[in-house]
């Protein structure tokens, strides 16, 4: 893998306003270009908005969604070509009579790749994808994409690594999530967010605590470390319908170490140089070489406990 300069952006998407959200993407792409960024990662569903999707009817989803080669992809391809940069962002895809939570990656050579979220739960009319997404980029590295809940499952990250991914694009909308489990995240009071300028410590405690960074640190570094890949985590921040996203966007190396992160309760961009020479001897890559696949057949056998992410999400 060649060295590459990567950036992760967090911002507060405006629900259903693709024009405004694409303008924010353009603004950050210009800033990233000034700092010689080659890979720019935006959050899940940042073009369309996210958590309000659960309230939409099929007809409303249809009016918001667009095909993978539609206007949003064209806008990203134009930006990628202009800035000689690979850019990823999320939206709702329409494919004939089906909708997907999709992440598109536009490359400066005109290439376009998509990943359909494997564990979609946002709306009964949004289908889950059925394919892993790993591809070569013009910048000399092989990329993989997993969207939010996809990264929760260790099998998904391991398969992405086995398919040759060196850098994992991990777009999210997480933190501050409503849950019935006292050991998982929890809602951030809207007043704490609205009062962040007058009481910055209150929102900082939430963002860095168990509703935000504290929760992420339980598992996110291990995904990078155990699989020997760089991980670019781009998260939403701020108001997302009736929840508050915590941001905490960060870039990790293949040892699970944080190269760059933001702790700001605001839109922000973090940048890091990914050194290809860290990959070959990283712990995760050594462990992958020690695998004994003949022992792992049980991983592909149903236990009878499997349930849809849509069901599990609303029971957490």
Side-chain half-sphere of 155: how many Cα atoms within 13 Å? 7
**What stretch of H or E contains 127?**
strand 126-127
The two structure tokens encoding residue 36:
């010689």
**CATH code where residue 39 lies:** 3.60.110.10
For 271-315, write each residue's pLDDT tens digit: 999 999 999 999 999 999 999 999 999 999 999 988 888 777 776
Tens digit of pLDDT for each residue in 25-84?
A: 999 999 999 999 999 999 999 999 999 999 999 999 999 999 999 999 999 999 999 999
**Residue range(s) defining the domain that contains residue 65:** 4-313
Using alpha carbons only, give the angle 179, 184, 190 rounded to the nearest 5 degrees: 60
41-67 per-residue burial string, b: 16 or more CB within 10 A, e: under 16: bbbbbbbbbbbbbeebeeeebeebbbe
Q: Total domain count for the chain?
A: 1
Chain segment 233-256, per-residue pLDDT in tens: 999 999 999 999 999 999 999 999
* Average pLDDT, integer, range 91-113: 97
102-122 burial string, b = 16+ CB within 10 Å, else e? bbbbbbbeeeebbbbbbbbbb
- pLDDT (0 to 100) of residue 306: 86
Contact partners, residue 273, CB within 8 Å, separation at least 6: 3, 4, 5, 6, 259
Which residues are registered as beta bridge partners of 114?
A: 104
Q: Distance between CA 274 and CA 288 in Å, rounded?
A: 21
Residues 248, 266: contact at Cβ < 8 Å? Answer: no
Listed in sequence order, the residues at least 6 apart from 86 whose beta carbon sits closer than 8 Å to its beta carbon are 38, 39, 40, 80, 105, 106, 107, 108, 137, 138, 139, 143
């Amino acid at each position: 893998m060649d060295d590459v300069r990567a950036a992760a952006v967090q911002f507060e998407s405006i629900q259903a306003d693709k024009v405004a959200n694409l303008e924010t993407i353009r603004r950050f792409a210009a800033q990233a270009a000034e700092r010689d960024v080659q890979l720019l990662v935006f959050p899940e569903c940042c073009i369309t908005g996210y958590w309000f999707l659960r309230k939409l009817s099929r007809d409303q989803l249809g009016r918001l969604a667009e095909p993978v080669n539609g206007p949003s992809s064209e806008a990203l391809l134009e930006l990628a070509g202009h800035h000689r940069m690979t850019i990823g962002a999320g939206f709702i895809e329409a494919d004939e009579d089906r909708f997907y939570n999709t992440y598109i990656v536009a490359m400066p050579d005109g290439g376009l790749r998509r990943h359909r979220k494997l564990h979609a739960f946002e709306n009964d009319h949004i289908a889950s994808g059925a394919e892993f997404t790993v591809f070569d980029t013009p910048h000399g590295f092989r990329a993989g994409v997993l969207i939010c809940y996809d990264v929760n499952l260790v099998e998904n990250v391991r398969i992405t690594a086995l398919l040759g991914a060196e850098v994992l694009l991990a777009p999210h909308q997480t933190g501050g999530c409503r849950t019935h489990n006292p050991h998982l995240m929890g809602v951030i009071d809207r007043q704490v967010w609205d009062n962040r300028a007058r009481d910055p410590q209150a929102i900082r405690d939430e963002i860095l605590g168990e509703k935000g960074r504290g929760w992420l640190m339980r598992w996110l570094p291990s995904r990078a470390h155990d699989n020997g890949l760089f991980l670019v985590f781009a998260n939403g921040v701020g108001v997302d319908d009736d929840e508050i996203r915590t941001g905490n966007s960060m870039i990790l190396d293949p040892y699970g170490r944080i190269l760059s992160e933001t702790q700001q309760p605001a839109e922000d961009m973090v940048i890091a140089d990914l050194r290809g020479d860290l990959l070959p001897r990283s712990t995760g890559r050594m462990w992958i070489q020690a695998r004994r696949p003949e022992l792992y057949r049980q991983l592909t056998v149903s236990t009878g406990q499997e349930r849809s992410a849509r069901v599990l999400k609303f029971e957490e």
